[in-house]
Structure 1
Amino acid sequence: MLPAASSSPVVPGDAVLYFAYGANMSGRIIQKREVHPITWEPARVTSLSLGFAHRGGYATLMEHSVTKASEQPGFKGLNFLGPHGVLYTLTTTDVQKIASRETGYDITSLDVRTYAGRMVSARAFQSQRLLRLKESLPPRQQYLDLMLHGAKEHELCEEYIQWLAAVPSVAQGTPLGPEYFDTPSEALARLATVSLAVAGGVWAAGHGNCP
């Protein structure tokens, strides 16, 4: 739980608005990363959807609202159009602390509407294309629990909290299947490995009789 925010906080000139939608919604994680928000409030992005389509089944913001997985009976509810989250005011130093832990994400700018009705421009982390899965997959339960904790802590809308609580997940200790790592970057790595092997074979064939 984050300490109570000051009613009249001192906001430095280089302060950054940061929209958190994953584990960083949780005060536990923010404090663990030694990040000290100046202000925070619930907010929502209306132009994108949230899906668990980052490598390993982590959350990311996506330009489309439906994936193949969400159309299948066993995987309904893995995407949410117009996700809710926490809008933090941070120093640039604290943004960099978070960025150092967000492997495979790029910083993007987007429009965010606060629950108070303000429309502001904020920064958020979005999965790099090469590390995005083909479709959303059930996240690990520990990760989902952090998201749910953050949503309740910051009193996000009840509909969103109920959706998070209903998202199917992978139980703690259960290995993730290969589909959780099937990203364009993995495909490129496999292609590079095969190409090197073929090139090596061709070179060996052409130089097999050399002294």
Structure 2
Amino acid sequence: MANFGCEDLRSQDGESFLYFAYGSNLLTERIHLRNPSAVFYSVARLQDFKLDFGNPQGKTSETWHGGIATIFESPGDEVWGVVWKMNKSNLSSLDKQEGVKSGMYVPIEVTVSTQEGKEITCRSYQMTNYESVPPSPQYKKVICMGAKENGLPLEYQKKLNSIEPNDYKGKVSEEIEDIIKKGEAKTH
């Protein structure tokens, strides 16, 4: 269930909030580039939503050179992701990364279920106006690396791995290329 226009979601300590990531921020090293306070909280499932990739407002991502992840309501479907506990001081950097000010994404409130069945309310993001297009191979790789790193269900990992990327063969940002290389080195 999405609740548009939500404000800051505070956890019990009042200094942090919970964020449900389903795209490139699944990967620890990726989220830490702009949001160093993020601490793994749980793997979780968002029921009745579906993962998609698109260009916000029809514009190709200069960072990723292909579609970027979003979610939309879809009864019977599910999206798996990671819940990060983050310091409120990183809320503005997370919003900036997600392009809230430019209208790329809007923050939403979602209720997710942990693998233990606990329901928690988190901040997440949803693209507002987009054209569905496939992700670049690099973007897909970062998402799959994050899914594996955090132990998302194997069936869901297979689903992510089966996504057909676009045919972009160039480079993405140097910091992302470094993350991909480090991830590949760990698996060899």
Residue of structure 2 in register with 1:87 after alignment: 83
Is the Cα contact below 8 Å between 2:17 and 2:86 reproduced in 1? Answer: yes
Q: Deviation of residue 173 (structure 1)? A: 2.8
| Whole-angstrom distance in 2 between the partners of 1:140 and 1:42 | 25
Structure 2 residues without counterparts, runs of 5 or longer: 1-11, 61-66, 171-188
Return closer, same or farther for 1:39/1:161 CA change in 2, 3 Å cut-off: closer
Return closer, same or farther for 1:14/1:36 CA change in 2, 3 Å cut-off: closer
2:142 aligned counterpart, secondary structure:
helix
Is the Cα contact below 8 Å between 2:48 and 2:74 reproduced in 1? Answer: no
Residue of structure 2 in register with 1:105 after alignment: 105
Question: Structure 1, residues 103-124: CA drift from partner, whole Å, max 9, x if none?
Answer: 2111000110011210111110
TM-score by length of 1: 0.64
What percentage of aligned pairs have identical amino acids? 27
Q: Which is richer in helix?
A: 1
Is the Cα contact below 8 Å between 2:32 and 2:38 reproduced in 1? Answer: no
Is the Cα contact below 8 Å between 1:44 and 1:113 reproduced in 2? Answer: yes
2:84 aligned counterpart, secondary structure:
strand
Structure 1 vs Structure 2 CA RMSD = 2.1
Runs of 4+ aligned structure 1 residues displaced above 4 Å come to none
Which structure would you say has the larger Rg? Answer: 1
| Whole-angstrom distance in 1 between the partners of 2:19 and 2:13 | 15
2:47 aligned counterpart, secondary structure:
coil
The aligned amino acid for 2:108 is T
Q: Deviation of residue 54 (structure 1)? A: 4.0
The aligned amino acid for 2:73 is E
The aligned amino acid for 1:61 is I
Residue of structure 2 in register with 1:45 after alignment: 46
Residue of structure 2 in register with 1:31 after alignment: 32
Residue of structure 2 in register with 1:127 after alignment: 127
1:19 aligned counterpart, secondary structure:
strand
| Whole-angstrom distance in 2 between the partners of 1:26 and 1:91 | 18
Residue of structure 2 in register with 1:59 after alignment: 69
The aligned amino acid for 2:29 is R
Question: Structure 1, residues 39-97: CA drift from partner, whole Å, max 9, x if none?
Answer: 421101002111113433111011236xxxxxxxxxxxxxx920100011111122221
Is the Cα contact below 8 Å between 1:148 and 1:161 reproduced in 2? Answer: yes
Q: Which is richer in strand?
A: 2
The aligned amino acid for 1:21 is Y
Is the Cα contact below 8 Å between 2:37 and 2:90 reproduced in 1? Answer: yes
Is the Cα contact below 8 Å between 2:111 and 2:120 reproduced in 1? Answer: yes
**Mapped pair 1:159 → 2:155:** yes
Is the Cα contact below 8 Å between 1:54 and 1:60 reproduced in 2? Answer: no
The aligned amino acid for 2:165 is S
The aligned amino acid for 2:159 is W
Matches within 5 A, 1:180-199: none
1:47 aligned counterpart, secondary structure:
strand
